[in-house]
Amino acid sequence: MANDDIDQDAMADDWAAAMAEQADAEQAAANPIAFEELIPEPGKRNSNPDLDVILDIPVSISMEVGRTSITIRNLLQLNQGSVIELDRLAGEPLDVLVNGTLIAHGEVVVVNEKFGIRMTDVISPAERIKKLR
């Protein structure tokens, strides 16, 4: 009989710990961190340890020269040597996109025989956060 009491006490302790953990999780969900709190002030190092968790996550960065729309008929007629007119003028800056979100404009450069991009206009962190919402 004493063995059953020990098992019941251990089970009760486990349930109490699980309920406390659930309450902590619900409280954290009720008080989310605003994106603005994660952005460090200009010239200061980020002292927010919550942001350190995501700093090593890889993101996809791409540069967009321009866009256009064509019909499927014209798409199927494309072959080697075809030219597609884009909506951007020659010499106009490229868009720099991170996971599909515009973060900057830039110009093409050559670095060690590879293409690169020089940032000419970077959108502020606050503006980037607004675009994510």
Burial label, 42 (beta-carbon count in 10 A; 0-12, 13-18, 19+): exposed
**Would residue 117 count as lying in a domain?**
yes
**Would residue 56 count as lying in a domain?**
yes
Contact 84, 66 (CB under 8 A): no
Distances in whole angstroms, Cα of residue 86 to Cα of each of 8, 66, 83, 125: 72, 5, 9, 29
pLDDT digits (tens, 9 = 90+) for 60-90: 989 988 999 999 999 999 999 999 999 988 8
How many domains does the chain contain in total? 1
Low-confidence stretches of the chain (pLDDT beneath 50): none
**Would residue 79 count as lying in a domain?**
yes
Residue 83's CATH number: 2.30.330.10
